[in-house]
Structure 1
Amino acid sequence: MENIVWAVDGSFFGQRISGIQRYSIELLSALDAIVPPGLVEVVTPPGVRAPVYENIKAVTFGTRKGVAWQQRDYPAYLKQRGARGLATCNVIPLFGFRGIAVVHDVCYRARPDFYTDFRGRLSAAWHRLQYRRIARTAEHIITVSQFSKQELTRYYGVEPDRISVVYNAWQQMQRIAPDERIFEKVPLLRRGEYYFSMANLLKNKNFPWVLRAARNKPDAVFAIAGGGSLEAEAKRLGLADLPNVVYLGYVSDGEAKALMHHCKAFLFPTLYEGFGIPPLEAVACGAPRIYVSDTPCMREVYGDCAGYIDLKTNRGYVDDVIPPKQDAAQLLARYSWEKSAKDFLEVLEQQSV
């Protein structure tokens, strides 16, 4: 068998952490415990540091940063090292890449109506270009759900046997200590008596549904965490000044864990996801129930352990959510970074033959 080295694009270590970066960080950490020495390297731009691993080698290479590093220095390293590429964040070099790419979702292609301003259209154009290049040139594709696998086949004609599914997980939440002081800072929040959501202005997150739910249930408190102009957006929607809505702004990881643990339910009325990790994290933090949108992806990931919001008929009524058939905590046994790392390593070994 050829002595393959897989070189990971580690530029995500210098990026703000969202679900995509979290997947990459946790997967590599779990992979390090089981991967043979010499099989995987992490390559980073100057000024970006990777963790210290036992079996994964960390290398700093090149002179550029950001997109320029990804498109120029990273493929130069692959050529110089004679390595295969491993890109885990939806983006590959447009030229000089041979290897495996992780595509988390194809929302930019499936829902162009979400991206209507100049910045959104520009981002959508770049990502659609990336999806096309990955579909054409990657030797293998990994994605995070069967739903996303089907979407890659539907929109880009990728043969199903070129795609493997490696799920997200939740164990990172165990490292966070809950910060109960949030309840002293916000006296309106009483443990066990509020609905909680984490919002932003991305259209797929469906922030307006939470506001309508608050308007329709004035006897309940709705706590909303997230930055940006959520209150301004509420005003634009004609849903400002709802007395039972508490805008928390950005919250720390510890505060989020405490808020998840003590909520009546965690709300996630998303319109489109590749996996949708926040409800899983909420359950890991002790949320007694999660309410998610009734979509194929959410059904796949959360099964009978979630309550479902039928967005075709439910215009903002938490009391009309289809109730879960199983306790939410039963969900946790399905997913672990250890399992995901084993699945990921199996793909690497198959592609190394």
Structure 2
Amino acid sequence: MEQTVWAVDGSFFGQRISGIQRYSIELLSALDGLVSSGMVEVVTPPGVRAPVYQNIKTVTFGTRTGLAWQQWDYPAYLKYRGAKGLATCNVIPVFGFQGIAVVHDVCYRARPDFYTDLRGRLSAAWHRLQYRRIAHAAQHIITVSEFSKREITRYYGVAPERISVVYNAWQQMQRIAPDERIFAKVSQLRRGEYYFSMANLLKNKNFPWVLRAAKNKPDAVFAIAGGGSLTEEAKRLGLADLPNAVYLGYVSDGEAKALMHHCKAFLFPTLYEGFGIPPLEAVACGAPRILVSDTPCMREVYGDCAGYIDLKTNHGYVDDATSPKQDAALLLARYSWKKSAQALLDVLQQQK
């Protein structure tokens, strides 16, 4: 029987790396060691370079870039090649797609209150269109947690048997060397004596909670990494003059690893996630403790290996008595890109 060819939308290789792109990159790297030659191809727009794989073929196709490439050139390649699509970043072509799509979460549908300005509303409208299209057109859907699977079924009526869970993992952190120079650059940081969080202005990340925690614990240092207008947001909230809140701006991967390793605890008071990978990365870097929001997703992913923040009653307080019940090694053993790649391969083999 002729082998099904799966052609991956590789446009993410030209995008700034966030959790979605990281998932795609690491999953393909691990999948390369499992698939037979000719089974999987990565298709990229002009000027976007994919890695060199052993068994996965890479192809540059088309003349467009960005969203136009995704919507026109990528489906043209699928037709030309007679291949099925594998789209790993929440987006498929509106027309001409048959295959598997990854939906990382449906936050734009579940929490429209997070997207109230014009840009947010437009982004939410586009993503909700994509969710509906994927629910209708994708042969199969992959998501990153059982929680997210339930959300897709709840909001888009997709039968559970059409959805498979392929988790995130953490092994990419092993390739990063910690950059301890951050402690010389920022005099307020002393190893083992600060709380660390990675923030942005997305409402689900709940940056205000970290500021309130800093206000309520003035004798402790709160190190906050992230770009954008965090200080402007702090001014808007009336929390701009906290001497124990240290804004680090964007930090390198090596600096983040050092900061995670030496913190008192890594804070992740998220309001909504499909998986929530930063605390897992923090544990992989040696963080002695992670404190995450008490939500179904966080409970599923982190189990008894985290301390939990009840955001219904805790509006900004770090409880140093909140401790995990299980060792971090159990958490790390639960997730690996190799396991996830095998789960993806099982889906590819089933969906011929």
TM-score, with length taken from structure 1:
0.99
Summarize the alignment of residues 147-296 of structure 1 with structure 2, pairs less than 5 Å apart.
147-296=147-296
Pair 321,67 (structure 1): closer, same or farther in 2 beyond 3 Å: farther
User: Which runs of structure 1 show a deviation greater than 2 angstroms over 4 or more consecutive aligned residues?
Assistant: 320-323, 327-330
* Local SS of the residue matching 2:51: coil
Q: Distance in 2 between matches of 1:155 and 1:322?
A: 34
Aligned letter for 1:278? P
Aligned letter for 1:77? Y
Identity within the alignment, %: 87
The answer (yes or no) to whether the contact 1:314–1:320 under 8 Å persists in 2 is no
How far residue 267 of structure 1 moved from its aligned partner, in angstroms, is 0.2
Q: Distance in 2 between matches of 1:330 and 1:145?
A: 18
How far residue 325 of structure 1 moved from its aligned partner, in angstroms, is 1.0
* Local SS of the residue matching 1:37: coil
Summarize the alignment of residues 54-203 of structure 1 with structure 2, pairs less than 5 Å apart.
54-203=54-203
How far residue 320 of structure 1 moved from its aligned partner, in angstroms, is 7.0
Q: Distance in 1 between matches of 2:329 and 2:206?
A: 25
The answer (yes or no) to whether the contact 2:275–2:297 under 8 Å persists in 1 is yes
Unaligned runs of 5+ in 2: none
Q: Which residue of 2 aligns with 1:344?
A: 344
The answer (yes or no) to whether the contact 2:289–2:323 under 8 Å persists in 1 is no
1:127-167 deviation line (CA, Å, top 9, x unaligned): 00000000001000000000000000000000000000000
Q: Which residue of 2 aligns with 1:53?
A: 53
Pair 113,320 (structure 1): closer, same or farther in 2 beyond 3 Å: farther
Aligned letter for 1:244? N
* Local SS of the residue matching 1:319: coil
Q: Which residue of 2 aligns with 1:315?
A: 315
* Local SS of the residue matching 2:348: helix
Q: Distance in 2 between matches of 1:349 and 1:299?
A: 31
Q: Distance in 1 between matches of 2:158 and 2:322?
A: 35
The answer (yes or no) to whether the contact 1:45–1:61 under 8 Å persists in 2 is yes
- Kindly report the root-mean-square deviation, in angstroms, between the aligned alpha carbons of the 2 structures: 0.8
* Local SS of the residue matching 2:243: coil
Q: Distance in 2 between matches of 1:46 and 1:292?
A: 41
How far residue 324 of structure 1 moved from its aligned partner, in angstroms, is 1.6
Q: Which residue of 2 aligns with 1:326?
A: 326
How far residue 321 of structure 1 moved from its aligned partner, in angstroms, is 6.9
How far residue 7 of structure 1 moved from its aligned partner, in angstroms, is 0.2
TM-score, with length taken from structure 2:
0.99
* Local SS of the residue matching 2:351: helix
Aligned letter for 1:169? A
How far residue 323 of structure 1 moved from its aligned partner, in angstroms, is 2.9
How far residue 322 of structure 1 moved from its aligned partner, in angstroms, is 4.2
Q: Which residue of 2 aligns with 1:7?
A: 7
Q: Distance in 2 between matches of 1:123 and 1:254?
A: 32
Count of matched residue pairs: 352
